[in-house]
Amino acid sequence: MNYETLLQKRAEIGGNLSTALTQTPEKKEQAIGDDITDAALEASRLEEVLAAAADSLTEAQFISFAGVTAATAVQWRKLKKGPPWCRVGLRVYYPRQMLAEWMRQRAAQQMAKNAAAAEASAVTL
């Protein structure tokens, strides 16, 4: 989606809001809610386009990919436990190459841990 399309969408939302002002309170609320939902979807799509252009995952995409909660992702960032990330404004992005390297390191650590556990188990038999 290009910049002109976004400006056009913003103008459409503004137009919808002005017509909502002449409607009943219930219809106004519904129209404004619909406009906010549309704007949020457009912002989400724009964020995904920007992330793709930067070869990164958005925070929502990372959460879905990693199978963790948003709270876990936040905690990992605070503890510097999770994959490398960067912040642009209020948004968090996970560069794909760095994410892949983090996953390789984590897999190697887990395999070493599993091998040590299997070895310890074999010794106790």
Residues 71 and 122 in one domain: yes
Six-digit token string for 48 = 């995904």
Residue 82 in 3-state DSSP? coil
For strands 86-88 and 56-58, give the pairing: unpaired
- Domain of 4, in residue numbers: 1-53
Q: Report the number of distinct structural domains present in the chain.
A: 2
What angle, 0 to 180 degrees and rounded to 10, lies between the N-to-C axes of helices 70-79 and 59-66? 100
Task: Evaluate if residue 29 carries a pLDDT over 70.
Answer: no
Residues 42 and 30 in one domain: yes
Examine the fold and report which residue of 15, 38, 53 is the final residue of a domain before the chain moves on.
Answer: 53
Indicate the pTM of the whole model. 0.57
pLDDT per position as a tens digit, 67-97:
999 999 999 999 999 999 999 888 899 999 9
Residues 28 and 70 in one domain: no
Residues 100 and 60 in one domain: yes
Residues 21 and 5 in one domain: yes
